[in-house]
Structures are given as structure tokens and as C-alpha cells.
Amino acid sequence: MDWPPQSVDLNPIEPIWVRSFTRAVIPQYSWAFSLNFPFPIQKSRPEATFCIQASFTLLSHVGCSNVTYLHRQSAMDTWYMDDSDEDQRLPHKLDPNQPVPLEDLEKIGVFYWRLNADIYENDPQLENIRKDRGYSFMDIITVHKDKLPNYEEKLKMFYEEHLHLDEEIRYILDGSGYFDVRNKDDRWIRIAMSKGDMITLPAGIYHRFTMDETNYAKAMRLFVGEPVWKAYNRPADDLEIRQKYLNSLKCASVM
């Protein structure tokens, strides 16, 4: 494989060799995890290995032949939440506001694309992302009191803090809403999603979803293989996937 790798046709903002990889020496492990998918890594000496974090890609092996770029035409609005028990649909920003840069989301395995939702049925960029990341399943859900059966019950379920054994991928086709994710210090980060925003949440991360004051969101749900909708409410720290996710954060913290 040529090095540096040649860019792929997804409008990369920066070359892959600038932003795709960082590495650090950590105590001996036989595997490292990027987005909770294991791949073998070479040992630089018996007592250490290189932990490789992919900022823009899901790696299936250290060769890194399959790269997905994040298109940063515009970034989502993200911030640390306050501790208020007021209506969950409100922004819940601190005073003063504490925004969270996209790079901090990447450090906890949350990745973002900005796409053209008006052409989602025939969007080559979306098709490339699906192909590169193996998103073979897709359906569309409309979250609105007139469209979603058991609407109030579903909203309560969505807002319960939980994790999944697999990635959660959501692409907002219309409307808006909030995803909340826990950072490595267990603080809530609120992610404001609107039309054209697409994110992936890594397996093992604690998160939740709520509507905003528009009370309407139409979203594409993507999945690798057959969908598994099982949620594990907190506490779920004993699950293997949670431990793998926490180990990936330790790996990233030494870079």
C-alpha cells in the first residue's frame, strides 16, 4: 500500500495522514479498539504496543485501506448540559454556555457528517459512507405524536440513559432533536441535531435522545447487518462492550 494513502472521493477537508491517525505507547495489550471494533496492531517492543486511534475512519485492520471522511460543511451545535430538571426539550445550556468542539466528540468515539437530506434517496456520499462502514440495514422513523405509536411511552424510553452492544447511527432527514452523550468524566454533552446531520455513537457509550421544542423529527436509522434494538439501561458497567469502550477511552487519553 502506498504511503501516505491517496484520498478517497468524499471531499476530505484534510489529508488522511494529517488527521486520521495519532499513536502513543501504552502498557502491553494484544488488541486495540477504534469505535469498539478490534484490530491487531504491531508491537514496537515486548513491553509496549502502539494504540492507534482513527479520527475519521472505522478500521478493520492496520492496513487502513478503507477510509470514511467526515464532511465538515458545518458543525452541529454541542454543549455541556446544566443539571436542571426542567423540561428535557429545552436546551439546558450552562450560563455562560460551554460549547464542546467536534474534536472532543471524536475523542469519545462520536463521529459526524453533514449531508444533503433533500437527496438522501440518491445521495452518492451517503452511499459511499454506507458501503465503507458496512451499513447494510436502513429504515426511517418519524417521531411525532401523530406518527409514532405509543408516542409518550417511546419518548420516555428514548430518554432513559442506556447503551447498546452495537453502534447507533442516526441521520436527520427533517425536523430536529437532541442526543445526549456522557464524556469520559461522566458529564452530559448535548448534541443538537437538525436536517442533514448524521452521527454515529459507539457501542458501549451511555446516551439518550429527546425531542426539542419542535416535537418533530424524521430520521434514518442505519445498522451493520440485522438490527438489534436492545437497550441496556444504566448501570450496565459489567457488560463486556462497556469495558471495551472504557478501555478505548484510556487508549485515547494517552495520545
**In Å, what is the CA distance from 120 to each residue of 48, 79, 117?**
45, 28, 5
Q: Is 168 annotated as a binding residue?
A: yes
Q: Is 153 annotated as a binding residue?
A: no
Q: Is 213 annotated as a binding residue?
A: no
DSSP string, the chain: --SSPPPPSS--SS-HHHHSEEEEEEE--SEEEETTEEEE---SBTTEEEEEEESS---SSTT---------SSPPEEEEB----S-TTS--B-SS--B--HHHHHHTT-EEEE--GGGGGG-HHHHHHHHHHT--EEEEEEESTTTSTTHHHHHHHHHS-EE-SS-EEEEEEEEEEEEEEE-TTS-EEEEEEETTEEEEE-TT--EEEEE-TT--EEEEEEESSS-----EESP-TTSHHHHHHHHHHHHHHT-
Q: Is 127 annotated as a binding residue?
A: no
Question: Per the annotation, where are the binding residues?
Answer: 162, 164, 168, 207
Question: Per the annotation, where are the binding residues for Fe(2+)?
Answer: 162, 164, 168, 207
Question: Per the annotation, where are the binding residues for Ni(2+)?
Answer: 162, 164, 168, 207
